[in-house]
Amino acid sequence: MAEVDGLRQGQDQDDPASTASLRADGGRADGGGMPAGAVRLDYAALGPDPVANARRIAPTFSADPESLTSRMGIEIIEASAQRSVATMPVAGNTQPYGLLHGGASCVLAETIGSLAAALHAGPSKMTVGIEINATHHRSASSGLVTAVATMAHGGSTLTTHDIVISDDRGRRVCTARLTCLLRDAVPGRQPGPEPGSRPGPEPGSRPGPEPGSRPGPEPGSATGRQPDSPAPAGDV
């Protein structure tokens, strides 16, 4: 079926089982300046209900089984700019002692914090995490951990979200803070040299003289004179 704004024709926009609010660009750099293979939010399909948004986002958020979020079992529960929630199983995300890996907590925090930042940014921006810090308070050895990202700052170029990760009993496992840079997604931009840059020589080509420069002697000649030309007076 054809897709319009990321939604298939004939589907009910309120049907969480059939509606996708994210879409991939087909493995190429698209006209919005997004990296090849990027998954993009379909903002038109999202509404004020964070739980409904999560249901719309979830099917394609982890559609790629090789993505980090899929392999770690991260699931989106609520999705909004002000507050987003995700869960992650402890099993499969542990360190050698069998406890939840601190790096896994950071992945969970950055995943849900970046999603919230993207929802704040809107379709004209690209969201890039630039700084994350985390404090690990206690261990977790089983069950699920839940991350709640709350906006601390939402500007036009930067966002900051505080993320609290808790275990099944509601005990705080980790506190993290994520700052994201909101970059303009330039319409029609394709990979290549920056506008106004000077192209370099073709691979294997011999560089020519600078524009306006005077050609020098041939390689190997002493003065650049033709071999049969007479020497000027005074030459020895």
Residues serving a catalytic function are 110
Residue of 29, 31, 49 whose CA lies nearest to 21:
49
Helix H or strand E segment including 119: helix 102-121
Q: Residue 192: left if φ>0, alpha if ψ -120 to 50, beta else—which one?
A: left
Handedness of CA 8, 82, 108, 160 (dihedral sign): positive
E strand or H helix at 61, and its extent?
helix 50-61
Total length of the chain: 236
| Reduced 3-state DSSP string for 65-108 | CCCHHHHCCCEEEECCCCEEEEEEECCCCECCCCCECHHHHHHH
5 DSSP assignment: T
